[in-house]
Amino acid sequence: MGERLPKESFISRFSDELLKREMVADLLEAKVLVEDYRSYYDHHRPHSALGYQIPAEFGASADLDRKIEDVRKQGELQSIITLS
C-alpha cells in the first residue's frame, strides 16, 4: 500500500481513534466528542510528521531554531560592520 496523503491519514486516524470507538446519543454529544478529539489531536498527540513531537514541542523547537539563526545573522552583521 502506498503512502497516504495527510488528509487521508487524518481521516483514517479520526475514524479509528474516535468514530469506531464511540456511540453517541445525540448531535450535541457528537460535537463535544469531536471537539475534544480535535483539541487532543492538535495540542497533545505526537505527530509522526513532526518527529513524534507534540505540536507545542515542535513549535517551541522551531522558534528556538529561528532565534538561533537570528543570533547568527546578528553576529555576521556585527562582523561585517567591524570590518568596514
pLDDT in tens, 22-62: 788 899 998 999 899 888 888 888 888 888 888 888 888 87
| Residue 70 confidence (pLDDT) above 80 | no
Distance between CA atoms of residues 36 and 32, nearest Å:
6
The domain segmentation of the chain, as residue ranges, is 1-45, 55-84
> 37: burial class by Cβ within 10 Å (0-12, 13-18, 19+)?
middle
Q: What is the pTM of this model?
A: 0.53
pLDDT at 59: 82
